[in-house]
Amino acid sequence: MDTASDSILSLDGVVAGYGKMTILNATTARIRKGAITTVIGPNGAGKSPLFKTVFGLLPARAGTIRFDGRDVTNWSPRRMLDAGVSYVPQGRNIFPELSVRHNLELGGVALADQSQIAPRVAAMMERFPMLRQRADAQAGALSGGQQKLLEVARGLLLDPRLMLIDEPSIGLSPLMVQEVFGLLKGLRDAGVTILLIEQNARQALHISDDGLVLEQGRARIQDTAASILADPRIAQLFLGGGLAATG
């Protein structure tokens, strides 16, 4: 798969970790513009640290990260937001005591023009009718799936070109998982590039365009999602029972 010419995100020899522990070992990858790419690999492979390093939450010790042709290595999360990158981390990341509307408004704090918050929140309410219906309810009163939709909507408030989404289906019912996956496909069809980590790797690959296999902090395989699903070696190693939720 040739992604060099149409990649929106590229990593070249990226090294990162925690303390003295190195997690990403000269990771090199290309993320295709306008595609959903699912990152798979065993626990400890470096999936979540990869996202944190791209978004500036974990410093890169070596290597280069480029977004849309610009060197963004070790940019702050605020600069990455301004550049068009949004991050939806693993777990619940809402303010449960605040209303749905207020949670959405907080997604716009990075906007240079604060007068844009209200119309963008209104647009999200229009896009997600459930949020409009529950606008004045406490976010903590939403179901797990509704909370995840709120997180994604908040991430969309800045009109990102790339979304990093870590384990969106944790704790969700099968029906809500299908709804969230449908949302991701809709975002892709609207032109948003999505880099995804998902505990159910096989299911995620079925809605993805591409796949990236991480092992011991290195990108071992990058190919179309269909090719990865069809590869018996990958299926045996990584897809047999679905991947663990961490790493």
Measure Cα distances from 226 to 1, 194, 212 in Å.
12, 17, 12
Q: Are the C-beta atoms of 101 and 136 separated by less than 8 Å?
A: yes
Place of tokens 């949670």: 103
Given a contact cutoff of 8 angstroms between Cβ atoms, the answer to whether 22 and 222 are in contact is no
pLDDT in tens, 22-61: 999 999 999 999 999 999 998 889 999 999 999 999 999 9
Residue 241 DSSP one-character state: S
pLDDT, one tens digit per residue, over 146-164 is 888 899 899 999 889 999 9
Tell me if 54 sits within 8 A of 2, measured CB to CB.
no
Answer whether 90's CB lies under 8 Å from 97's CB. no
**The overall pTM is greater than 0.85:** yes
